[in-house]
């Protein structure tokens, strides 16, 4: 099965530790289904870095192990059970445009029936960056188009509400075209980030989040690593939020909190998630 997750916090040196701490919850299993692939995007030293593997034939994908050495305070990860597009890097999430990262689980209904028309609605300078076959990459570029219309595509700091509006507008366009083909709105979970904010759409498989803050959580993350503990000051101020979706419901730890269906979740480095109706 697929997996989608995003992490945002205020301690780049502990980001990988948080993911490793929740390795069991983030693990994805093939269950005899499609071959899995995975991708990871993160922000480090002002750069956007990517790791992507379009084919991984292991029955279990431990994405936390892949990310365990990452030194970043914003991470976006995806395990892909391919439903659209071949198994190649161009179809492997997350997708990137400049500082923006985007990943999705689920499928846009009747996408092939209006793909060309949807792509044509994207400004040419953005359209030329669509290199794969997936509905997710096209939806990402529709989202970028709405940011461009507001003149905020290349700005480092973008208000959460602007990102939320662009996501809502993108889904309205796609749902409208799907309805013209006789389809229902697609069951999608989405994560998007520019390295400053992390925003999620939940209207598909279960989505949950786990907050970490204060010395007690920091102690649990660091464990018995004395060397790290000695050089980690101000542990009480540590804060992270880890959000993930497409869980096996029966195996989800109780410490994770559920996100209501048809919600939009806004995450920052210094507060609990803000959740509102989509």
The full set of domain ranges for the chain reads 3-277
What mean pLDDT comes out for the span 22-41? 79
Q: What is the mean pLDDT of the chain?
A: 88
Buried b (16+ CB within 10 A) or exposed e, 175-189: bebbeeeebebbebb
CB-neighbour burial class of residue 258 (10 A; exposed 0-12, middle 13-18, buried 19+): middle
In the structure, what pLDDT confidence band is assigned to residue 221 with cuts at 50, 70 and 90? Answer: confident
Name which residue leads in pLDDT, 69 or 229: 69
In the structure, what pLDDT confidence band is assigned to residue 214 with cuts at 50, 70 and 90? Answer: confident
Query: What sign for the dihedral angle of Cα 222, 223, 224, 230?
Result: positive
Report the C-alpha gap between 162 and 197 in whole angstroms.
11
pTM for this model (two decimals): 0.92
Q: Is the pLDDT of residue 243 over 60?
A: yes
Which pLDDT belongs to residue 29?
A: 76
Q: What share of the chain is helix, strand, coil (3-state, %, to 5)?
A: 35, 30, 35
What mean pLDDT comes out for the span 212-217? 86
Which pLDDT belongs to residue 250?
A: 57
- Considering the four listed CATH numbers 3.40.50.740, 3.30.565.10, 3.40.640.10, 3.60.20.10, the one that applies to the domain covering 3-277 is 3.60.20.10
Which pLDDT belongs to residue 237?
A: 82
Report the C-alpha gap between 178 and 192 in whole angstroms.
22
Residue given tokens 């996100």 in the structure block: 259
Report the C-alpha gap between 161 and 144 in whole angstroms.
15
pLDDT in tens, 33-85: 666 789 999 999 889 999 998 887 777 888 888 888 899 999 999 987 756 55
The CA radius of gyration of the chain, in Å to the nearest whole number, is 18
> 43 forms bridges with which residues in the sheet?
48
Longest C-alpha distance within the chain, in Å? 61
Which pLDDT belongs to residue 154?
A: 80
Which pLDDT belongs to residue 25?
A: 86
Between the two ends of the chain, the Cα-to-Cα distance in Å is 25
Least trusted range by pLDDT, from 84-93, 144-153, 155-164: 84-93
Structure tokens at 104: 């999705």
Residues 6+ apart with CB under 8 A from 235: 214, 215, 218, 219, 222
Which pLDDT belongs to residue 160?
A: 86
């Amino acid at each position: 099965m697929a997996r989608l997750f995003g992490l945002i916090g205020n301690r780049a040196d502990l980001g990988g530790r948080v993911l490793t701490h929740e390795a069991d919850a983030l693990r994805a299993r093939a269950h005899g289904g499609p071959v899995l692939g995975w991708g990871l995007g993160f922000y480090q030293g002002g750069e956007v870095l990517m790791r992507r593997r379009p084919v991984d034939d292991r029955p279990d994908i431990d994405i936390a192990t892949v990310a365990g050495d990452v030194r970043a305070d914003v991470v976006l990860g995806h395990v892909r059970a391919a439903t659209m597009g071949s198994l190649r890097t161009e179809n492997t999430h997350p997708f990137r445009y400049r500082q923006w990262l985007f990943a999705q689980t689920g499928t846009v209904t009747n996408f092939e029936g209006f793909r060309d028309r949807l792509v044509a609605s994207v400004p040419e300078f953005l359209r030329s960056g669509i290199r794969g076959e997936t509905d997710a990459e096209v939806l990402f570029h529709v989202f970028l188009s709405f940011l461009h219309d507001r003149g905020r595509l290349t700005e480092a700091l973008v208000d959460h509400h602007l990102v939320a509006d662009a996501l809502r507008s993108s889904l309205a366009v796609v749902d409208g075209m799907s309805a013209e083909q006789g389809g229902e709105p697609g069951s999608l979970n989405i994560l998007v980030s520019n390295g400053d904010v992390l925003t999620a759409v939940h209207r598909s498989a279960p989505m949950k989040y786990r907050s970490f803050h204060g010395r007690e959580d920091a102690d649990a993350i660091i464990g018995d690593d004395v060397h790290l503990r000695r050089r980690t000051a101000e542990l009480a101020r540590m804060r992270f939020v880890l959000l993930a979706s497409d869980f096996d419901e029966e195996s989800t730890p109780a410490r994770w909190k559920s996100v209501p269906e048809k919600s939009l979740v806004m995450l920052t480095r210094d507060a609990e998630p803000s959740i509102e109706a989509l």
